[in-house]
Amino acid sequence: MAAIKTPALLRRLRQTGCEVRCAATPDAYAFVTPLSLAVAAGGEVLDRDRWFAADGRVRHLEWARWADGLVVAPATADALASAATGRAHDVVSALITAGVPRVLWAPAMNPAMWAHPPVQRNVEVLAELGHAFVGPVRGPLAGAEEGEGLGRMAEPEAIVAAALGLSFDRDLRGVRVLVSAGPTREFLDPVRFLSNPSSGKTGFALAEAAQARGAEVTLVTGPTHLPDPLGVHVEHVVDAGGMLAALSEHFEESDLLVMSAAVGDWRPAERSDRKEPKSDTERSLRLVRTPDILASLAERRRHQVVIGFAMETHEGVERAARKARDKGLELIALNYPAREGVGFGAEENEVTLVRPDGSSEAWQRMSKRDLADALLDRAAALLAERRG
């Protein structure tokens, strides 16, 4: 049923200024009509009946040369298998085999199918070939018996944002990128913990964007509800100590670290091994500092470019600049989670980019994926300068 979103996706792509053409397999017409696709795309649809022109032109080869990228939405298990094995039995697989420069997949299928090992192997093959992925996401699925699960196609807005990212050259090919994301949890006892509302969306967007630009990406994340980004090596941790250990394992071999995790500053001095009973009396909680991850990594730093994040409820450029100087960071993205529309869990962010010398520039509000690519633009320039 994800196919019914395709006309909306085509319209949104055109609204961004993209020139769009649509290709459809025979099965697509079970859900949407050729006319609805043609109207949304603003031109004829390439399908089985129009695969070869009457004058002998081979349309899929022409379209593959014309396109800057191909978005496969919805992407079925069969479509993934066809591309991973080099088949060309329909117009979509033929376009991929004909050499479209960049391919973005928006998978949609039953959760059991998505988790099936051969399907995941095909995803890995395509990711190694440089293909990008957006979704699947958790949400209601077709059929009352399906309920919710990881298999729903990403929404058109998310696919458009990822598709626009395909316009970037793979300028991070060969670069090893390490990203931290999400919150940390410091447990008081087996069921209670200190944490924060970080969703991890910024860090996950950074990992996805870096992978799409050709980087070899490792994502170290605290607890979130987000699915692991495709083509990215992901390590899940819980507390600040675990995050430090995981980042330390990969830092020396990395070229770029983007520290976007909201690491808790404090942990209980003592942790109980059993749940403490409720009482009517007041209790005091003694806290101690968690490890300073950036300071610990700085001791082992050699060639790495390091970008950090800082959160303030009020103006904090001077404090961010001091943090950058003290910890040897190239840049800090200063954001204000108390501002409406850009707080924890929001889809957008609004940051001020701060340098160690105190200079700064305020960036306009943008999606977290756009922010990720903007930061990676700066990182790519810094990496190029370092390499001379």
The residue from 165, 196, 224 where one domain ends is 165
User: Residues 110, 122, 196, 349: which is the catalytic one?
Assistant: 196
User: What's the whole-model pTM score?
Assistant: 0.67
Q: Are residues 102 and 60 in the same domain?
A: yes
What is the block-wise mean pLDDT of the chain (388 residues), using blocks of 10 residues? 78 80 85 84 78 68 83 91 88 87 89 91 89 84 60 84 71 92 94 91 91 89 87 92 96 95 92 82 88 88 91 81 89 84 80 92 89 93 83
* pLDDT tens digits, one per residue of 159-189: 887 887 666 667 888 899 999 999 999 999 8
Direct distance between the N- and C-terminal alpha carbons of the chain, in angstroms, rounded to an integer: 51
Treating both helix axes as pointing N-terminal to C-terminal, what angle do 156-165 and 368-387 enclose, rounded to 10 degrees? Answer: 20
DSSP state at residue 27: G
Distance separating alpha carbons of residues 174 and 165, to the nearest angstrom: 18
Say what the pLDDT of residue 308 is.
Answer: 93
The residue from 108, 130, 165 where one domain ends is 165
Say what the pLDDT of residue 143 is.
Answer: 55
The residue from 165, 187, 208 where one domain ends is 165
Residue 197 domain flag = yes
Distance separating alpha carbons of residues 169 and 317, to the nearest angstrom: 32
| Residue 112: its H or E element | helix 111-115
296 is in which domain, residue-wise? 176-265+285-387
H helices then E strands: how many in the chain? Answer: 13, 21
Say what the pLDDT of residue 148 is.
Answer: 64
Say what the pLDDT of residue 144 is.
Answer: 42
Say what the pLDDT of residue 55 is.
Answer: 62
- Residues 140, 95: contact at Cβ < 8 Å? no
The CATH number given to whatever domain includes residue 361 is 3.40.50.10300
Q: Are residues 341 and 192 in the same domain?
A: yes
The CATH number given to whatever domain includes residue 59 is 3.40.50.1950
Does 349 qualify as catalytic in the annotation? no
User: What is the 3-state secondary structure of 233-277?
Assistant: EEEECCCHHHHHHHHHHHHCCCCEEEECCECCCEEECCCCCCCCC
Total of domains in the chain: 2
Which two three-digit tokens encode residue 368? Answer: 């977290």
Say what the pLDDT of residue 263 is.
Answer: 94
